[in-house]
Structure 1
């Protein structure tokens, strides 16, 4: 009796063949439904023990992991939430096993928002958790060292690879030109030339000399630069959708993106913003053909993947509240019509969505040709092959536990925190401190402060107060919007008077965390010393204050003198407020 001959390996699974041949073969085997699933970059959650979510209450994420992979054929996912390294690796492997069990066995590509700093915003980033903790991107800009940014991105790459993340939903290279805009902490500040220099190093650190099995794909955002938001409001929300250029600086905002493309970034994310008063159509960038095809593809020559920002098609439920789709300029269209507009514009993938049936119907109705879908699917599959996911989709949980947060990575992040601190004032030479002073602290862990002096409960009994503040913002009623710190940059009353009273009572070192450009003229005048941070632990601040580490930071944007000056400035023009308290690049050496 003859044995059954082994089944022939399909060409797309043959690693010896050229990538383009493998892409063409796999594409030819896919159903329309399987192709449509590739056009969605959805979100997933995981259970704390590293198992996939197999039940859902239908609110924030309406489908389970098995449904998304096995029934909707989606294979690109953004993991939400902070988890242990071993558990993330175990979860990644379980998800890949689900994908391997599908008809064609197309592996999953996992992505993440930034995870290596201090900001925790469900719409933008996560705190470092298990990963090494570095300053925010603004802090890297304050240091201004491309080689450090390369080492940072290379560390991110190694920690991401250990748990299975293959796409970084960063760097964010918008210019911080509107002082009130909520997303500045993820940027490299207001200077286009510095941002261009740093993004080149960042892409090289994530991707290496070229994209390959050891790379993390960089999804650069937010094209063509999201900084010039009217009144500094954020276009996640309808009242912040307008992007304006009263200073005529549109080309200036493109400079970092030109550098990112020249560096070989693999992916690009257009922003939500709706351009107003330009020669572009007044439609959000992800659906804007003049921007995606005309500018990004044809003029700038970008050949990689274009993924829209999250939630352009469907309304969603976030924290039990309805969050309208960010379909600015096309709000009146149906979900299918919005999808068609984005595909016509040249976008390859829909971020944060999971409705491939809409694309299937667009093709079957003749509204979108199959060739248009095939072009985007080919780009997406090609990256999976280049990243080596078909050959090696799994990770080692033990290695993940050893790699993520490794001692040398943590030490490098801690050193960068210290370097990024920016000394703004030291009028009486208070710094560096010496001896073992009596310390009154606010916003500082008393147990940490006790390693530098005697902590006392009453400022009247102290030799020195150390106070940590955060950039002011206006609370918003919408829970989701409350994570995006917007509005006034000035301390309101009675908080300002309380702070100033403390400064009058005891010499005070003030450290303010700058996620935006705080308006602090009175505090700057009356503090015994003033330091800015962009994500730094208490030990980093106190090491600098006591001369145990050197602060090298320089302001990545100016600090305005008043809210009137902010309101009178032009959103697209860097450092445009009148008579700032501290200009761009200010910083003292101790």
Structure 2
């Protein structure tokens, strides 16, 4: 029996579409406009709501955004304490509940579980379970593991009140220079498609569709962000262009096909401005009607939420610097005109922006109809009802402290780190520290000289040596190179040359001339390892791993099982000569995608 005194949208027994229609019919245009924006909000001290604007991140106070502008979608920034994040969630939900219609907030986040952390693309939390970056999941290559990982993310996010994952990245890592590649599942379209679909299934959880125990995936960056001109990233307005010299625009959509089949309900477009693609406009994807309406809505039959990447309408402040509106190809238009163009293209929501007044102005001027606004608001409200947000407005903040980062979940993340590690080279030595044969795995108790590993990490594995001359083996840990070319974005998005500085290559050569040397390299990007590999006696690649995970493989407690998720180029010239949109296009790569050596079972279990 329905309670006829209660609004239909608050009755959980009614069908979702009936609830959506009832709520939409009660909303003012201002309240509808608030749904169209999905901006950032920063966690205050102790999990409080900020009462003054956080200029470092260009955000307004929560009260202004919720009470005055009517926003109900927020990407949470900051926070490393689970209980404080959960408390912040409850505070902002209470604020939303005080509004006329009490529409609950949808909280989203960039990735939180990896090893690499940047305020603009994902802030890792050490209190959660820690996993390799998604290239490491691609190196494992097991869809069951990718789904299990998605399920862990789902459970930990639910405890914090986070209901939308801004990911996964379904982009193909076809240009090794691209700074966002570490967030992809690699270069191979088949592997990327399988891992993307499996991860989304894990986020969705049990059942056929989204439900109260699901985290929605906002798969990105349609129609594939990998082929940026020169391998640069479109976060930087100097690098707007996305190019397809190999004519493979369709190839980059294959992982999105898999994502849609897996039930993805949200999509983020990228900043890039395609150049030279027949039928596509040479404007940013958020404003590109042939891409959003004709391709995504039409060809792919996607009827979910389409959200832009952050700040394509108005400029903002980012760590004290101006982050210009990324309305590529439409810089000459006003913010209102850009917003209208995106709505015309088929976009539902604007990431980062909060300019609700422009929506009111556009409708008042007759440029956009209220019916067009309703179309997007209906999609956005439908997602809230499907996620059960109206019935589950609070989380248990005290329980969050104990239900995330539990020992079983940490063990699972650590095991994924180990499984992803890729043994690239393992030279046969006439008289190695293990006797005749391959250098790795090392015997425990070996005298080891280290650089780049925490000194205390060796305890229980090896005897530390103060210099290469005093050691039986050297362990050198390197980070794939990048250039800081001046600016905040260069620190957050690692681009530029893939070659190690000459002094780094010479140092590895000098150490290896003294003692057998193992180089451990974090492959955030596919580094040019030709000189390093030529000097090192053994070479291990990782995609985000803690020291003990690396040492477990070096000392044979775990066997290396990862396979390269991308080609490793042999030279920077080969990279520069390759085509941005074509996978496996660098000439004579040093190591091919799928390469990975193994230990014999008896070696891996040796102590």
Fold match (TM-score > 0.5): yes
Contact 1:172 1:186 in 2 (8 A): yes
Residue 307 of structure 2 is aligned to residue 307 of structure 1:
yes
Q: How many Å apart are 1:502 and its aligned residue?
A: 1.8
Contact 2:57 2:317 in 1 (8 A): yes
Partner of 1:218: 217
Contact 2:500 2:528 in 1 (8 A): yes
Q: How does 1:265-344 map to 2 (within 5 A)?
A: 265-279=264-278, 280-344=280-344
Which secondary structure does the structure 2 equivalent of 1:293 belong to? helix
Contact 1:441 1:467 in 2 (8 A): yes
Relative to structure 1, the CA distance from residue 368 to residue 114 in structure 2 (aligned partners, 3 Å threshold; closer, same or farther) is: same
Which secondary structure does the structure 1 equivalent of 2:23 belong to? helix
Once residues 478 and 88 of structure 1 are traced to their aligned partners in structure 2, the CA distance between those partners, rounded to angstroms, is 30
* 1:167-220, Cα deviation, whole Å (9 max, x unpaired): 000100100000100001000101111111111111111013310111000000
Structure 1's consecutive aligned runs of 4 or more residues displaced over 3 angstroms after TM superposition are none
Aligned CA RMSD, in angstroms, stands at: 1.2
Partner of 1:537: 546
Which secondary structure does the structure 1 equivalent of 2:130 belong to? coil
Once residues 308 and 103 of structure 2 are traced to their aligned partners in structure 1, the CA distance between those partners, rounded to angstroms, is 22
Residue 244 of structure 2 is aligned to residue 235 of structure 1:
no
Partner of 2:517: 508
Q: How does 1:18-417 map to 2 (within 5 A)?
A: 18-56=15-53, 58-208=55-205, 209-279=208-278, 280-417=280-417
Which secondary structure does the structure 2 equivalent of 1:238 belong to? coil
Q: Which runs of 5+ in 1 are unaligned?
A: 1-5
Once residues 572 and 53 of structure 1 are traced to their aligned partners in structure 2, the CA distance between those partners, rounded to angstroms, is 43
Partner of 2:446: 437
Q: Which runs of 5+ in 2 are unaligned?
A: 429-437, 600-607
Q: How many Å apart are 1:344 and its aligned residue?
A: 0.4
Which secondary structure does the structure 2 equivalent of 1:468 belong to? strand
Once residues 450 and 183 of structure 2 are traced to their aligned partners in structure 1, the CA distance between those partners, rounded to angstroms, is 28
Q: How many Å apart are 1:128 and its aligned residue?
A: 3.3
Once residues 471 and 234 of structure 1 are traced to their aligned partners in structure 2, the CA distance between those partners, rounded to angstroms, is 17
Relative to structure 1, the CA distance from residue 464 to residue 48 in structure 2 (aligned partners, 3 Å threshold; closer, same or farther) is: farther
Partner of 2:571: 562
Which secondary structure does the structure 2 equivalent of 1:306 belong to? strand
Once residues 566 and 435 of structure 1 are traced to their aligned partners in structure 2, the CA distance between those partners, rounded to angstroms, is 40
Q: How many Å apart are 1:7 and its aligned residue?
A: 9.7
Q: How many Å apart are 1:450 and its aligned residue?
A: 2.4
Partner of 1:482: 491
Once residues 299 and 240 of structure 1 are traced to their aligned partners in structure 2, the CA distance between those partners, rounded to angstroms, is 29
* 1:279-306, Cα deviation, whole Å (9 max, x unpaired): 1100111111000000000110001100
* 1:533-567, Cα deviation, whole Å (9 max, x unpaired): 00110000110011101211000001111110000
* 1:130-173, Cα deviation, whole Å (9 max, x unpaired): 11001110000001000000100000000000010000001001
Q: Larger deviation: 416-425 or 193-202?
A: 193-202
Relative to structure 1, the CA distance from residue 59 to residue 464 in structure 2 (aligned partners, 3 Å threshold; closer, same or farther) is: closer
Q: How many Å apart are 1:317 and its aligned residue?
A: 1.5
Partner of 1:3: none
TM-score normalised by L of structure 1:
0.98
Q: How many Å apart are 1:393 and its aligned residue?
A: 1.1
Partner of 2:605: none
Residue 584 of structure 2 is aligned to residue 584 of structure 1:
no
Contact 1:318 1:480 in 2 (8 A): no
Which secondary structure does the structure 1 equivalent of 2:521 belong to? strand
Q: How many Å apart are 1:59 and its aligned residue?
A: 5.0
Q: How many Å apart are 1:263 and its aligned residue?
A: 1.1
Partner of 2:477: 468
Number of residue equivalences: 585
Q: How many Å apart are 1:494 and its aligned residue?
A: 2.4
Contact 1:561 1:580 in 2 (8 A): yes
Once residues 442 and 56 of structure 2 are traced to their aligned partners in structure 1, the CA distance between those partners, rounded to angstroms, is 52
Once residues 561 and 555 of structure 1 are traced to their aligned partners in structure 2, the CA distance between those partners, rounded to angstroms, is 14
Which secondary structure does the structure 2 equivalent of 1:222 belong to? strand
Which secondary structure does the structure 1 equivalent of 2:338 belong to? helix
